Amino acid sequence: MKQPLSYCQRCGVPPGSALDLNAIDANDTGPFSSKKQGRKALKQLRSRLVELQERFYAWDKRSLLIVLQAMDTGGKDGAIEHVMSGVNPQGVRVHSFKVPTANELAHDYLWRVHKVAPRRRMIGIFNRSHYEDVLVVRVHNLAPSQVWQQRYEQINAFEELLHAGGTTILKFYLHISKDEQARRLQARLDDPNKHWKFSKGDLKERLLWDDYMAAYTDALSRCSTEQAPWYVIPANHKWYRNLVIANILVETLQSLDPQYPLPEDDLAGIVVQ
């Protein structure tokens, strides 16, 4: 019998390939036909993730970096909340990258990123990342094209450096459709509890949707490497988005096969007084 594709295979952007985001269905729900089914599967995966993270932390041999990128309302915050809930917070750090400060701008663009790269045993989550420097910067001409054009290779070299230093890297692009973004923006306007998430600026960015898609296409196809792959996550359905991310995390951690370290001493004869 033919093995079904793993989620890593299903969603991974093959290195060196030409990516067509339009051909990827943001509404995809894979083999699942209902949210209920999907939620049940996520629950199981989360317990597995909690177990693997504990081993990974104890193992203390590598770090894991998760990069999250998406259009506004794409679900980066929701994915962090729902996929990581239950994981020991001591082993996880989330960093959200905002408009660079004057001090950050006075350095190279990777400075602020490298500073917060996860140390061994930690899972680092980047809510936005150095990819903003080839996305918003490109779309808004915040740097001349000669400058941002060089960044794809610089980013690949940077990620190669992190990988060589013991960091496993996973990059997730949460793929929503333009229609779904409209629904989510409207929901933020309609619900007073969501007003804090609404920014008029998001409406301006929405007008640049096609430019962003072109920038994402380049970033994902030029910077998906064997050591730091990009994954396109169908994200119109939040429950499926969470499920796919959880699957890829579990697959990745399982393949690292973290082990509890052996005790330093022979514990057999020790008596606790």
CB of 202 to Mg ion, least distance (A): 6
The set of residues, in sequence order, having a beta carbon less than 8 Å from that of 81 and lying 6+ positions away, is: none
Residue 218: how many CB atoms within 10 A of its CB?
17
Taking the least distance from each CB to ligand AMP, the nearer of 104 and 251 is 104
Q: In whole angstroms, what is the distance from residue 95 CA to residue 220 CA?
A: 21
Residue 97 near ligand AMP by CB under 6 A: yes
Taking CB under 5 A as the criterion, which residues in 64-93 touch Mg ion? 72
What is the closest distance, in whole angstroms, from the C-beta atom of residue 197 to Mg ion in the complex?
A: 7
Residue 128 contacts which entry, Mg ion, ligand AMP, none (Cβ below 5-8 A, type-dependent): ligand AMP
Q: 168 forms bridges with which residues in the sheet? A: 64
Q: Which member of 98, 141, 267, 268 binds ligand AMP (CB under 6 A)?
A: 98
Residue whose C-beta lies closest to ligand AMP: 132
- Strand order, beta sheet including 92-96: 92-96, 123-127, 63-70, 167-175, 230-234
Binding of residue 128 to ligand AMP (CB under 6 A): yes
| Binding test (CB under 6 A) with ligand AMP, winner from 133, 155, 234, 249 | 133
Q: How far apart are CA 121 and CA 213, in angstroms?
A: 34
Looking at residue 73, its amino acid is T
By CB under 6 A, residue 137 contacts ligand AMP:
yes
Beta-carbon count within 10 A of 273 CB: 2
**Which parts of this chain interact with ligand AMP (CB under 6 A)?**
97-100, 128, 132-133, 136-137, 142
